[in-house]
Amino acid sequence: MVFALHYGGGAHGGRLLNLVNTVRLHGWIGVDLFFTLSGFLITGILYDTSSDSHYFKRFFARRSVRIFPIFYLVFCFFLILTPILHYQWQAGHLLFLLYLGNFSLAADPSLEIIRSANHPAFSAHLVHFWSLCVEEQFYLIWPIVVWLAKDRIRIIRIATALSVLALLLRIVMVHFVQPTHLETWMIHQLPFRMDALLLGAILALLLRGKNADQWQRRCRAVFLTSLIVFLGLSVALPALNAPWLMTAGFSLLALASAGLIGVTLRSGSPAFRLFNLRPLRILGKYSYGFYVYHVLWAGAWATLVGFLTQKLHSTVLANALTDILNFSVTFLVAKLSYDYFEVRFLRFKQHFEYDSELREHRTNFAEEIRA
């Protein structure tokens, strides 16, 4: 969905192509779904290990070996290329190294690109890293909240209150901030987007209670109701910067995402079968690297579109061919990155196993000895 948003342009002219373009312009929804899924997974881990003897150390170590390697690999790569492509670094770019790049972009949107003095096609694009900054900021704060609260119901109440606060903050921003500043100062900042992560957290905790089966059955109604309302409002008020979208719209998407996750977890459901299809599971395995790499050379891909348009005399065909090639190359890079680089760091997770994992290993070892 995010890939289509960034590279699916050119589909204009005629009802079908205009419809395709309208759909792909909503591809940013993929980030909201990712936030909710992340909040669901991370909160499940945090709650299940809240009594671990090295709770913080093991959580942050395991997250670091998964997230940091290719993130910093990208910046090392650009630093190496700087003398060749003459990248024009600015002080604000350094905040990305601390996962604070979303603040840099709010202060100066031009920092989304490290410009090359050689040619615009060689410029490095960092705009999509805002979501990784939001994620990492959440990973830094939420483990402390879970550890302090401990109690499942208390954590649910905290997450619910913070979700409502996020909605109220967005309402205030929409009423008092100019629309041109909303994207960088609201959409890309954790306080205004935390409900997407927290509704995933609430789902994880509800499914760990005694009424888990009832809550999971309700997920279908939550998903369908939220989706129908969102689609209805999208048709009635289609502007991408409409006030309803910037406020209640994000809340509806978070609810729909949580509902979809809950439905998908139900074995045998249509959603379960759909997302267990082999192509989607393969894409999911390499999705983090795919996301990191896919926008970096956006200028080069745009240049290729322009070249093919002149040759083929068709913007639609030029975009289609470029997108297929782009998707294939990005997937290949992500796969090679995972198989030959990331897994080397993922092996370090065995040095940071949780107490429950260590107990399971000791039990299994004892059973093997008895056998």
Q: What is the mean pLDDT of residues 131-139?
A: 97
Q: Which residues pair with 113 in a beta bridge?
A: 125
Q: What is the pLDDT of residues 23-44, one digit of tens each?
A: 888 999 999 999 999 999 999 9
Give yes or no for residue 59 having a pLDDT over 90: yes
Give yes or no for residue 365 having a pLDDT over 70: no
Contacts 24+ apart (CB under 8 A), 160-164: 160/198, 160/202, 162/194, 162/195, 162/198, 163/194, 163/195, 163/198, 163/199, 163/202, 163/251, 163/254, 164/195
> Mutual orientation of helices 129-149 and 55-85 as an angle, nearest 10°?
170
In the structure encoding, which two tokens stand for residue 67, read together? 């997230």
What ranges make up the beta strands (E) of the chain?
113-114, 124-125
Q: What is the pLDDT of residues 179-195, one digit of tens each?
A: 878 888 899 999 999 99
Question: Cβ distance 256 to 226 under 8 Å?
Answer: yes
Question: Cβ distance 33 to 196 under 8 Å?
Answer: no
The better pLDDT of the pair 368, 93 is held by 93
Average pLDDT of every residue of the chain: 94
pLDDT confidence tier of residue 360, bands split at 50, 70 and 90: confident
| Highest mean predicted confidence (pLDDT) among 23-32, 86-95, 358-367 | 86-95
Q: Which residues of 33-42 are buried (b: 16+ CB within 10 A; e: fewer)?
A: bbbbbbbbeb
Share of the chain above pLDDT 70, in %: 98
Q: Which residues pair with 114 in a beta bridge?
A: 124
| Position 233, amino acid | L
Q: What is the mean pLDDT of residues 195-204?
A: 98
Q: What is the pLDDT of residues 264-319, one digit of tens each?
A: 999 889 999 999 999 999 999 999 999 999 999 999 999 999 999 999 988 889 99
Query: What is the structure's pLDDT at 264?
Result: 96
Instruction: Report how far residue 96's alpha carbon sits from residue 64's, in angstroms, rounded to the nearest whole number.
Output: 15
How crowded is residue 204: how many other Cβ atoms within 10 Å of its Cβ? Answer: 26
Instruction: Report how far residue 72's alpha carbon sits from residue 345's, in angstroms, rounded to the nearest whole number.
Output: 13
Evaluate if pTM is beyond 0.75: yes
Question: Cβ distance 50 to 147 under 8 Å?
Answer: yes
